[in-house]
Amino acid sequence: MKIAILSRNKKLYSTRRLKEAGEARGHQVDVIDTLHCYMDITSNHPAVRLKGQELPAYDAIIPRIGASISFYGAAVVRQFEMTGSYSINESVAISRSRDKLRSMQLLSRKGIGLPRTGFANRPDNIKDLIKNVGGAPCVVKLLEGTQGIGVVLAETTKTAEAIVEAFMGLQANILIQEFIKEAGGADIRCFVVGDKVVAAMKRQGAEGEFRSNLHRGGTAVLVKLSKEERATAVAAANIMGLNMCGVDILRSSRGPVVMEVNSSPGLEGIETATKKDVADLVFQFIEKNAKPYRTRTQGKG
């Protein structure tokens, strides 16, 4: 098959591994810089152009859209869908997963376990907002945070109020969450492809750190999932409409709770921790499922 990986950087581990795995399975794999693509959206012959030329028809694309280019990236994926390319993650699902509030609303509506969470922009009653998630200790997060930056543990109600006020002063959207203490500074990354968790790792925060992010000094090890954890990860991926994603779970005393679903999960950490050829499994899935115009929305959403 002719397959394109949409990625800003050929040299990234995930991009390199996907290209290598696809080629090893006999596919033609091109890496295309998402931001360099442009398109004529008014023509009745939808096409994607690059460097003065129309791109050939790809059987499938693998979008690796970083958070900073969500908006344009989704438009490029949508255009590929309109040309008939199968996208492992469709544009609508990518956009949906980028909106944390919308994601959590969708997951909660379908009964997926979540940490008790409140969203706010200008809460007129901060005390109530905090009380609603069970009071202190609680976690306050910047909606647009990443790599653990902007995630703060407030030990007391007074601190929680102060943090909320500080973030509000910066005009930031925030999320306030019940602190899952029993998770012990660890979370579980489930890498889902299709309707299976193909690899899972436990990330443990550094000593005295409640955030498990590898960027904050956490370490990753192989983990065995319970049936319930597997089912939760697969259900969350399915609700989000993502065929390839990373579902982050906390082990709470009332069972697995989903923290977030990532539509461009990295391969380096998970392949290193589990020694699994996750990239190969991605192509196996594409081989089975790619059909022209197979997206559920065909770019209509």
Ligand X SMILES: Nc1ncnc2c1ncn2[C@@H]1O[C@H](COP(=O)(O)OP(=O)(O)OP(=O)(O)O)[C@@H](O)[C@H]1O
Work out how close the CB of 208 gets to ligand X at its nearest, in angstroms, rounded to a whole number: 13
Q: Which residues contact 91 (CB under 8 A, 6 or more apart)?
A: 63, 74, 75, 77, 78, 81, 295, 297, 299, 301
Work out how close the CB of 110 gets to Mg ion at its nearest, in angstroms, rounded to a whole number: 20
Site string for ligand X, 128-157 (x = CB under 6 A): -----------x-x---xxxxx-x------
| Element containing residue 113 per DSSP (H, E) | none
Helices (H), 133-253: 157-169, 227-240
From the list 90, 187, 229, 271, which residue makes contact with ligand X (rule: CB under 6 A)? 187
Work out how close the CB of 67 gets to ligand X at its nearest, in angstroms, rounded to a whole number: 7
Asked if 212 touches ligand X (CB under 6 A), the answer is yes
Which is closer to Mg ion, CB of 209 or CB of 260?
A: 260
CB 263, CB 89: distance < 8 Å: yes
Which is closer to ligand X, CB of 93 or CB of 180?
A: 180
Work out how close the CB of 215 gets to Mg ion at its nearest, in angstroms, rounded to a whole number: 9
Asked if 33 touches Mg ion (CB under 5 A), the answer is no
Asked if 118 touches ligand X (CB under 6 A), the answer is no
Amino acid identity, residue 263? S
Asked if 179 touches ligand X (CB under 6 A), the answer is yes
CB 266, CB 279: distance < 8 Å: no
- Bridge partners, 221 (sequence order): 202
Cα distances from 239 to residues 3, 106, 112, 276, 299, in angstroms, run 26, 7, 9, 26, 18
Sheet holding 174-178: strands in order across? 117-120, 174-178, 138-142, 151-154
How far apart are alpha carbons 141 and 223 in whole angstroms?
27
Which is closer to Mg ion, CB of 161 or CB of 260?
A: 260
From the list 30, 33, 209, 260, which residue makes contact with Mg ion (rule: CB under 5 A)? 260
From the list 93, 126, 180, 190, which residue makes contact with ligand X (rule: CB under 6 A)? 180
Per-residue b/e over 94-128, b at no fewer than 16 CB within 10 Å?
bbbbbebeebbebbeeeebbbbebbbbeebeebee
DSSP 45-101: S--EEETTEEPPPPSEEEE---GGGHHHHHHHHHHHHHTT-EESB-HHHHHHHH-HH
Work out how close the CB of 76 gets to ligand X at its nearest, in angstroms, rounded to a whole number: 22
Binding site members for ATP: 141, 178-179, 187, 211-213
Considering only CA atoms, give the Rg of the chain. Answer: 20
Which is closer to Mg ion, CB of 31 or CB of 94?
A: 94
Work out how close the CB of 288 gets to ligand X at its nearest, in angstroms, rounded to a whole number: 29
Q: Which stretch binds ligand X (CB under 6 A): 27-35, 82-90, 179-187, 274-282?
A: 179-187
Binding site members: 141, 178-179, 187, 211-213, 248, 260, 262
Residues 213 to 232: which contact ligand X by CB under 6 A?
Answer: 213
Asked if 209 touches Mg ion (CB under 5 A), the answer is no
Q: Which two tokens stand for residue 6?
A: 């949409």
Residue with tokens 């709770």: 257
Work out how close the CB of 143 gets to ligand X at its nearest, in angstroms, rounded to a whole number: 10
Binding site for ligand X (CB under 6 A): 115, 139, 141, 145-149, 151, 177-180, 183, 187, 205, 210-213, 248, 250, 259-260
Binding site for Mg ion (CB under 5 A): 260
